Structure 1
């Protein structure tokens, strides 16, 4: 750090720093002790406030919890009261069914799987009947008509009690009347309602039968997955007995868990992570508010799981993986369920701790500023006291330092006044003697260093030049070896494929007798493969000569129109059977090109051959050739409507032997050397070649030649 370096270099600052440090240590120790005491006192007060606040908050939440439990209990009592009215009405109807006026017919429809149900237009229009495929046939129409007598009371019950989703009367023979009406065809089509359902196998019926409800009272089911699309529901059920004591069915009311969450647990908490939930008498979770904490506490990985805790005490403090929580419980007396709140301790204590921290920080800040002011005043006194004492020691040393700096600059004749005979005076006399000696030694060393520097410079230059030549030779050797290896591998691959094909055809012609047409066809294929090999070898000779810089250009002045038309004529003759149309456009007053006619012709033919080959394969081909002058360059653009090249393959297209994967899949014959040769020929004429392409649309090859009147073009 720079202050330390400055102090370390100054004896005067060392003395001042030492005195300031000796004065600062007691003040700092006292200040630190005071800050610790203030912090400890603040923590004690904060903890006391937290305990008092937690107790007050829990008392308030317990009162709110009990009030909410009483409200929910009233709603459940209303449900039970409605259900008891329905039970008494059902028992009355079945006891007096002979005297009742019932509809003459029931509009039941038979389902494809043997069940019967009553269609409807609006589900709230009426209650409808359903008869399971497993019910006895024929089902008593009188009993069904008697059950329909409950329809007005069903509709009034749903209207008066918004907590309910549906009410029903279920026969023991697996038939029922339900309101709002249920679309049996739809529920069966989505595999929710079994067409041959046996109600005795389901809790909404069996909970009220003779075995499970001998006292013939009202029963609540555990949460279960309903046979409709309502999801999880809880059902309140009561048995309906005939005067003979025979169980005729069950009257029930369905409360979907979603309804209970919306209509019962509509509480809001000032604590951000608190939530409420309901458990039944067995401890099963019935309904819960959903937030991040509830999802974690009710997950299978929670330890402990809130739903597994007992609720004998109204307030419980528990430790979980999510921190310390308070569990508050209040009974719902009508059905033995329990309403519970979960409140994280951190939600209660966080505001208190925040306020306490703010107050503590303010007190610490005020105390710190006062302490710093006291330290500043003390330090000023110490510095003034130390100033006079340090001057008597540091001033002679400063004079020696200034003289040393002059010597560094080359001035060896600096005079330092010596006013004392103590150790400082002896140091000054020794310094003068050192000045004289150093001056003589430096003169001698300067002469010898100059001689040595000349020799070293000359030798270094020779070594650098030799090393540069060796590096260039090594780089060329490595590049040549790499290119040779890659070329041999690629040549072996490209020659092996057609030679293998030729061998196979010749072997067949040698070993077997075939019709003349087949022999002629195979002979043509052998000739085609042979020409492909010859073309590959010619291309290899051409590109190898260019790689070795052995190609010499015989340049001459050539019209652009002649150059292009000549190349197009040759390319057409090479592909007489190709259905490709050419469109050529030339700008007026095009300049002459100073090029090697044969080489540039070879480059253009390679490009036009590719355009013909890939346009023909793609359909009716069309090739447009446009020549124009752009600034100081002549530009030739060759555009086709062929199969195109994917963007990721365009930059590799000039690599020798590289071919687009789409071309390989289409089995279009080629060597992969044509564009590489064209590029080297064009760049050998100081020109440029670029390719733009779009898959499935076509390709454009742009060739530009430099200013034909440039002085740097020479005839080779």
Structure 2
């Protein structure tokens, strides 16, 4: 009797030791993997977790067992209806793998994970085993690669667009210049004087070509961070008057009157006068290009004392710009795609360059426009701060 009892006790102890050893081995294996492991009851209750899980989520094993996946370990940004569907599918014996936004309960920090769920037998019951891998770094690299790919494709498209636009737009003044030079050559061959109109038109096309080349050079300087400013104290009101005077003869020739409204004389800013003249000239040139005959162009200057800035605007009564196109006006090579703008397009660089110049001065540039009712382009510059007198 004693011998049989001793044998049974020995057998039980042996089996217990073997089971304990097996559990310790299993625990060691689970803790050695580089993924977080959750063991769930079929109703979703967390029965156990491994050590990598506690490190990944920043909670202890006992804390984890008092929490739930949906309420504590998942971001609210996840679709609320997706997890119950996945869980039911796994309960039906179908393993599921999916991406998820996880959450660390104690810090509310979120990170991206890959989850693999499957139903398995464990001891005397079935459980849901969840393997969770932190893929935050991998997803970040993937996004960076995708952004780089998108940027490269966009750059390639811009290059193609640039080549197409530049070849067309540069050819136009060159062709016209060639025609005028041929007319001058024929006149000289016949011994006739070259008429002033031919010379004027040749100079106009030369100026147009020079402006295009200058624009291309400016874009290169902007993109490489080499757009230098030679800033000094500038009388902005005087500069505006001078620019308007230069353009007035062009406006009058086309019956377009430029009317300066200098409401804030004097107004001084610390700026590069050549670059500010370039910006204003570009706005006036655009207004001339898109305005009908016998219409006025208003150039205004005003001071905002609260913002301590000067505002310069150019308003025309031209064809206007659709609202959905205005946000793209200041991007490279953009030209408004409408029939009303056909034949008046350029390289699509003037506004892009102008806005960057204004930004380098610490100002802002924008547009107010209604289709068919004209446009007002404006820019601001910080006023020069004079030293206080004591």
TM-score band, normalised by shorter chain: 0.5 to 0.7
How big is the shift at 1:626?
A: 3.3
Question: In structure 1, the residue corresponding to 2:251 is in which secondary structure?
Answer: coil
Contact 2:237–2:301 (8 Å) recurs in 1:
no
Taking the aligned partners of 2:347 and 2:312, their CA distance within structure 1 comes to 23
Taking the aligned partners of 1:465 and 1:603, their CA distance within structure 2 comes to 40
Change (3 A) 1:594 1:443: farther
How big is the shift at 1:619?
A: 0.9
Contact 1:636–1:703 (8 Å) recurs in 2:
yes
Taking the aligned partners of 2:351 and 2:359, their CA distance within structure 1 comes to 12
**Of the candidates 213, 222, 225, which is equivalent to residue 549 of structure 1?**
225
Of Structure 1 and Structure 2, the greater helix share is in: 1
**Of the candidates 248, 256, 280, which is equivalent to residue 604 of structure 1?**
280
Give per-residue Cα distances to partners, 1:470-512, cap 9 Å, x unaligned: 6665555444333222211111000122222333344455567
Structure 1 match to 2:259: 582
Higher relative contact order (CA 8 A, sep 6+): 2
Contact 2:230–2:271 (8 Å) recurs in 1:
yes
Taking the aligned partners of 1:471 and 1:697, their CA distance within structure 2 comes to 42
Change (3 A) 1:516 1:429: farther
- The answer to whether the aligner puts 1:445 opposite 2:118 as a matched pair is no
Contact 1:689–1:704 (8 Å) recurs in 2:
yes
Superposed CA RMSD: 4.5
- The answer to whether the aligner puts 1:658 opposite 2:335 as a matched pair is yes
Change (3 A) 1:633 1:700: farther
Contact 2:318–2:374 (8 Å) recurs in 1:
yes
Taking the aligned partners of 2:373 and 2:219, their CA distance within structure 1 comes to 30
Give per-residue Cα distances to partners, 1:329-360, cap 9 Å, x unaligned: xxxxxxxxxxxxxxxxxxxxxxxxxxxxxxxx
**Of the candidates 236, 239, 250, which is equivalent to residue 563 of structure 1?**
236
Count of aligned pairs between the two proteins: 273
TM-score normalised according to structure 2 size: 0.54
How big is the shift at 1:518?
A: 6.9
Taking the aligned partners of 2:20 and 2:282, their CA distance within structure 1 comes to 85
Change (3 A) 1:438 1:645: same
Contact 2:366–2:379 (8 Å) recurs in 1:
yes
Change (3 A) 1:671 1:461: closer
Contact 1:498–1:530 (8 Å) recurs in 2:
yes
**Of the candidates 298, 318, 321, which is equivalent to residue 643 of structure 1?**
318
How big is the shift at 1:440?
A: 2.0
Structure 2 match to 1:484: 159
Contact 2:321–2:370 (8 Å) recurs in 1:
yes
- The answer to whether the aligner puts 1:494 opposite 2:78 as a matched pair is no
How big is the shift at 1:444?
A: 2.8
- The answer to whether the aligner puts 1:533 opposite 2:234 as a matched pair is no
Contact 1:612–1:621 (8 Å) recurs in 2:
no
Give per-residue Cα distances to partners, 1:660-705, cap 9 Å, x unaligned: 757656x668654322221221233443322112355432123245
Contact 1:563–1:601 (8 Å) recurs in 2:
no
What does 1:325-336 correspond to in 2, within 5 Å? none
Change (3 A) 1:669 1:465: closer
Taking the aligned partners of 2:336 and 2:147, their CA distance within structure 1 comes to 33
Taking the aligned partners of 1:707 and 1:429, their CA distance within structure 2 comes to 91
Taking the aligned partners of 1:464 and 1:542, their CA distance within structure 2 comes to 38
Taking the aligned partners of 2:371 and 2:192, their CA distance within structure 1 comes to 42
- The answer to whether the aligner puts 1:676 opposite 2:352 as a matched pair is yes
What does 1:70-85 correspond to in 2, within 5 Å? none
What does 1:138-537 correspond to in 2, within 5 Å? 436-445=20-29, 448-449=32-33, 474=149, 476-510=151-185, 516=192, 519-537=195-213
Change (3 A) 1:517 1:453: farther
Contact 1:505–1:526 (8 Å) recurs in 2:
yes
Change (3 A) 1:657 1:448: closer
Give per-residue Cα distances to partners, 1:78-100, cap 9 Å, x unaligned: xxxxxxxxxxxxxxxxxxxxxxx
Contact 1:653–1:660 (8 Å) recurs in 2:
no
Contact 1:642–1:697 (8 Å) recurs in 2:
yes
Taking the aligned partners of 2:14 and 2:266, their CA distance within structure 1 comes to 93
How big is the shift at 1:541?
A: 0.9
Taking the aligned partners of 2:242 and 2:175, their CA distance within structure 1 comes to 34
**Contiguous gaps of at least 5 residues in structure 2:** 1-11, 36-50, 57-133, 386-390
Shifted more, 487-496 versus 676-685: the winner is 676-685
Contact 1:611–1:623 (8 Å) recurs in 2:
no
TM-score normalised according to structure 1 size: 0.32
How big is the shift at 1:542?
A: 1.1
Change (3 A) 1:435 1:654: same
Contact 1:635–1:702 (8 Å) recurs in 2:
no
Question: In structure 2, the residue corresponding to 1:444 is in which secondary structure?
Answer: helix
Taking the aligned partners of 2:280 and 2:137, their CA distance within structure 1 comes to 49
**Contiguous gaps of at least 5 residues in structure 1:** 1-427, 710-716
Question: In structure 1, the residue corresponding to 2:281 is in which secondary structure?
Answer: helix
Question: In structure 2, the residue corresponding to 1:618 is in which secondary structure?
Answer: coil
Taking the aligned partners of 1:635 and 1:644, their CA distance within structure 2 comes to 27
Taking the aligned partners of 1:618 and 1:695, their CA distance within structure 2 comes to 18
Contact 2:180–2:202 (8 Å) recurs in 1:
yes
- The answer to whether the aligner puts 1:625 opposite 2:209 as a matched pair is no
What does 1:43-192 correspond to in 2, within 5 Å? none
Question: In structure 2, the residue corresponding to 1:606 is in which secondary structure?
Answer: helix
